[in-house]
Amino acid sequence: MSRSLEDQTIIITGASSGIGRAASLLLAEEGARVALAARRRERIEALAEEIRDSGGEALAVPTDVSNRVEVEALVGTTREALGPVDVLVNNAGVMPLSPLAELRTEDWERMVDVNVKGVLYALGAVLPEMLERRAGHIVNVGSLAGRRPLSGGTVYSATKFAVRALTGGIQLELSGEYGIRVTDIQPGVVDTELMDHIPSEVIHDRFDAGWQNRRKLEPRDVARAIHFALSAPQHVNVNEILVRPTDQLT
């Protein structure tokens, strides 16, 4: 069977859990060489080993995406070990939801640092080579929350609105002239560790109660959307994919 991503070098940020982990496994199964980035070294090293054991090619590069120097090093290390970066999957993200009135301003700042600045640092680090090669694909994992504000998640939503705006701007500026494709993947609720870090009890309880008898997406459902965008022919620019659980209405 042909593997759709043969010969592609792909960086996946936030590869240590959830959607990033599932995407790393699927893209490696499809033949890509994957560079796995996240802060938890032991998790990405174990995942890289798992991929290599099944015949794939993977490299673990411990990285904090909110640190520009580390992100530049990630791209350099990947290029040296696996070749020029064909695809960047900007997936790392945090979602410490809380009502604005709780004034958790440190969390607001962390969301901007990881969800927005992290995306920009990675974009800035891969672009020079992509512009030169006139090829590349940027996949940003945004959110359904990037299409409408989320009560109790205003700042998180704002970061994902930013991701959507960036995606639109990349398409306008870089797709035609440079052949660089771009996709904003917008999942609804996915069963991952993301909710474990919600500091506000009010939001946590509301979320748990609301989802007790409903089925969330699995990380692999979102990985499949990422794969769909990446495996489209070069003349097809899949710019947005909104994927909700059937049980999620808004």
Mind telling me the catalytic residues?
156
For the segment 139-168, give every residue that binds ligand NAP (CB under 6 A): 141, 143
Torsion of CA 64, 65, 70, 74, to 10 degrees: 110
What are the phi and psi torsion angles at 85 (to 5°)? Answer: -80, 120
Residue from 114, 123, 138, 166 in contact with ligand NAP (CB under 6 A): 114
Smaller CB distance to ligand NAP: residue 92 or 130? 92
Rounded Cα distance, 116 and 102, in Å: 22
Smaller CB distance to ligand NAP: residue 3 or 50? 50
- Interface with ligand NAP, residue 78, by CB under 6 A: no
Rounded Cα distance, 78 and 57, in Å: 12
∠ CA 134-137-140, rounded to 5°: 145
- Interface with ligand NAP, residue 18, by CB under 6 A: yes
For the segment 201-220, give every residue that binds ligand NAP (CB under 6 A): none
For the segment 115-144, give every residue that binds ligand NAP (CB under 6 A): 141, 143
- Interface with ligand NAP, residue 17, by CB under 6 A: yes
Contacts of residue 191, defined as CB under 8 A and 6 or more positions apart, other chains included, come to 216, 217, 218, 219
The least distance separating ligand NAP from the CB of residue 185, rounded to whole angstroms, comes to: 8
- Interface with ligand NAP, residue 24, by CB under 6 A: no
Residue closest to 87 by CA, chosen among 33, 142, 15, 26? 33
Rounded Cα distance, 177 and 172, in Å: 9
Structure-block tokens of residue 13: 């940020």
- Interface with ligand NAP, residue 95, by CB under 6 A: yes
Structure-block tokens of residue 174: 């870089």
Contact of 92 with 118, CB cutoff 8 Å: yes
- Interface with ligand NAP, residue 32, by CB under 6 A: no
Smaller CB distance to ligand NAP: residue 71 or 238? 71
Quick one: which segment of 7-15, 147-155, 165-173, 200-208 binds ligand NAP (CB under 6 A)? 7-15
Residue from 50, 64, 129, 221 in contact with ligand NAP (CB under 6 A): 64
The least distance separating ligand NAP from the CB of residue 11, rounded to whole angstroms, comes to: 12
Residue closest to 14 by CA, chosen among 152, 122, 104, 157? 122
- Interface with ligand NAP, residue 187, by CB under 6 A: yes
What are the phi and psi torsion angles at 240 (to 5°)? Answer: -145, 140
Smaller CB distance to ligand NAP: residue 67 or 135? 67
Residue from 8, 9, 157, 192 in contact with ligand NAP (CB under 6 A): 192
- Interface residues with ligand NAP (CB under 6 A)? 13-20, 38-40, 43, 63-66, 91-95, 114, 141, 143, 187, 189-190, 192-194
